[in-house]
Structure 1
Amino acid sequence: MNSDKRLTTTGSTAKGPQAAELWPLVHAERAALAADLAGLTDEQWATPSWCEGLSVREVLAHLTAGASLTSLRWLAGVIRCRFDFDKQVAMRLAEQLGASPAETLARFARVVESTTKPLLPVIAMLGEAVVHAEDIRGPLGLRNASPIGTLTLVAEYYQGSDQVVAARRRIAGLRLAATDGPFATGSGPLASGTTLALIMATTGRMAYCDELEGDGVEILRGRHAMR
C-alpha cells in the first residue's frame, strides 16, 4: 500500500528542513493519532478507512509496520515477495495487526518515537503519518489538528514527488492553492481548498475533491486511478 494507496541530519537548506527537524513532526503526528484512537469501540476499529480495502485498524498496523522496517528488512521482504510490493505491504501489515484492536494500538504506541524507516526520506514518513492518519480519522468523524506548518511541508513534498504515490503526475497542469495557509503550486486550472484537502486529493482520496473549488477540481477528480 502506498499513500494513495537525500536528507541529512543537520540544519535547514533552501531545499527544505532536514531529517533532525522532521522526525519530531513525525512523532507528534503519531502521538496525536494514538491519543485520538484510545477510546475506540471494536465496531469503530472495523470501520472502512479512506485507504481502499482496509479498515482503520489495518491502516494503523500499516503505519506500525512502516515505523518498524529497516531498509535491510524492507529489501529482504521485497525479495521474499518476488518484488510484488503490494504483497510485501500486506505481509508486513499482518505482522503488526496483533490479536485484538488493543494490541494493534499498543504496537503502534511503541513506535510513536521510532526513527526506523525503509528506503524513504523522512519527509515521506511525515507524509505517510499525515495521510494515513486522515484515512483513519475521516471515516470516524475525528478532526485533524495538525499544525499548518506540518501540512504545508507535506503538501510541498507531494507536489514535487511521485516516489510514494503518483502525486506530481496527478496534479500536472493544475494550479493548487490553499485557503488556510501559504501552500500554492503549479499553473493552469485552479483547485483551491484547505491544505489538508489538497494533500488528500493529491494522494488519490477523491472524496476530498468535494471540499475543493475551481475549474481544476473535475480534472483532478478524473485522475483518481493514477498510481
Structure 2
Amino acid sequence: MRRPLGIRRRYPTDHVTAALRYQVATSVKLGGGRERVAGLRLVATDCDVALGHGTEARGTAIALLLAVSGRPVGDEEVSGSGAATLVGPGR
C-alpha cells in the first residue's frame, strides 16, 4: 500500500531476504515466484544475497522480492541483462 502512495520505508533486510528466499523456492501455484525466476540469478545490491543461476537481475532486496512476487516495480529499480525478464510484460 505504501509504494503506490509514494511512501518509502526501510525494511529489515533479514526479513526481506528470508521472504525472498521463500518466494524463489515456492511455486507460483502456491503464491511463490519460482517459475518467474527460472534461468535468472538475483543479486541484491543492498545486502549480501545472490540466488539462482543464469542471467543476472540486480536490485534492492525489496525490489527483487516485489518483482518475484509478481508485484510491479519501476524499470529503474531492477537492472542487468535479466531485468526485462523479471519485470517485463506478462510477469
TM-score after normalising by structure 2: 0.87
Partner of residue 21 from structure 2, selected from 133, 147, 156: 156
| Inter-partner Cα distance in structure 2 for 1:214 and 1:198 | 12
Check the 8 A contact 2:63/2:73 in 1, yes or no: no
Pairwise CA distance, 1:223: 4.3
Q: CA RMSD in A?
A: 1.4
Give the SS at the match of 1:206. coil
From the two aligned structures, give the one with the greater strand fraction.
2
| Inter-partner Cα distance in structure 2 for 1:186 and 1:151 | 17
| Inter-partner Cα distance in structure 2 for 1:158 and 1:209 | 21
Alignment deviations for residues 128-186 of structure 1 (CA, whole Å, 9 cap, x no partner): xxxxxxxx000111112211111111111101002214x00000000100000122111
* Unaligned runs of at least 5 residues, structure 1: 1-135
Alignment deviations for residues 18-62 of structure 1 (CA, whole Å, 9 cap, x no partner): xxxxxxxxxxxxxxxxxxxxxxxxxxxxxxxxxxxxxxxxxxxxx
Count of residue pairs brought into register by the alignment: 88
Q: Which residue of 2 aligns with 1:207?
A: 73
Pairwise CA distance, 1:218: 1.1
For 1:149, the aligned partner's letter is D
> Mapping of 1:1-227 within 5 angstroms?
136-162=1-27, 163-165=30-32, 167-220=33-86, 221-224=88-91
Structure number with the bigger relative contact order (C-alpha 8 A, sep ≥ 6) is 2
Give the SS at the match of 1:196. helix
| Inter-partner Cα distance in structure 1 for 2:41 and 2:73 | 19
For 2:37, the aligned partner's letter is I
Q: Which residue of 2 aligns with 1:78?
A: none
For 2:73, the aligned partner's letter is A
Give the SS at the match of 1:145. coil
| Inter-partner Cα distance in structure 2 for 1:147 and 1:207 | 19
Pairwise CA distance, 1:222: 4.0
For 2:57, the aligned partner's letter is A
**Cα gap change, 1:223 to 1:189, in 2 (>3 Å):** farther
* Unaligned runs of at least 5 residues, structure 2: none
Give the SS at the match of 2:85. helix
TM-score after normalising by structure 1: 0.37
| Inter-partner Cα distance in structure 2 for 1:202 and 1:140 | 21
Q: Percent identity?
A: 38
